[in-house]
């Protein structure tokens, strides 16, 4: 019985680590002069920074993370705090 419980626990642990694949968002903006970009998240009446891209090259902005993003509305925000666009 203990081996069965241990086997179920190990298999469930394996599924939970595979389900968290993280995120990889790549955005290409032509003529982007910003050197820093922020990935923000709306929650009720507040906006939170979820990630920061500090190396924008030729307008290519990349956000990567190890944990899965929550469902909701996100925005790409430039270094002057101007919103480029919102997305789901």
With 0.95 as the threshold, say if the pTM is over it.
no
Mean of the per-residue pLDDT values for the chain?
80
Arithmetic mean of pLDDT, 71-88: 91
Phi-psi region of 76 (alpha: psi -120 to 50; beta: other; left: phi over 0): beta
Determine what percent of the chain is predicted with pLDDT higher than 90.
Answer: 43
18 pLDDT tier (thresholds 50, 70, 90): very low
How far is it, in rounded angstroms, from Cα 61 to Cα 28? Answer: 6
């Amino acid at each position: 019985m203990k081996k069965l419980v241990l086997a179920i626990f190990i298999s469930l642990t394996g599924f939970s680590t595979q389900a968290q694949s993280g995120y990889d968002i790549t955005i290409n903006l032509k003529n982007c002069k910003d050197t820093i970009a922020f990935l923000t998240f709306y929650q009720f009446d507040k906006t939170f920074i979820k990630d920061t891209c500090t190396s924008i090259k030729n307008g290519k902005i990349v956000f990567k993370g190890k944990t899965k993003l929550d469902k909701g509305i996100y925005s790409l925000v430039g270094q002057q705090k101007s919103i480029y666009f919102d997305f789901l």
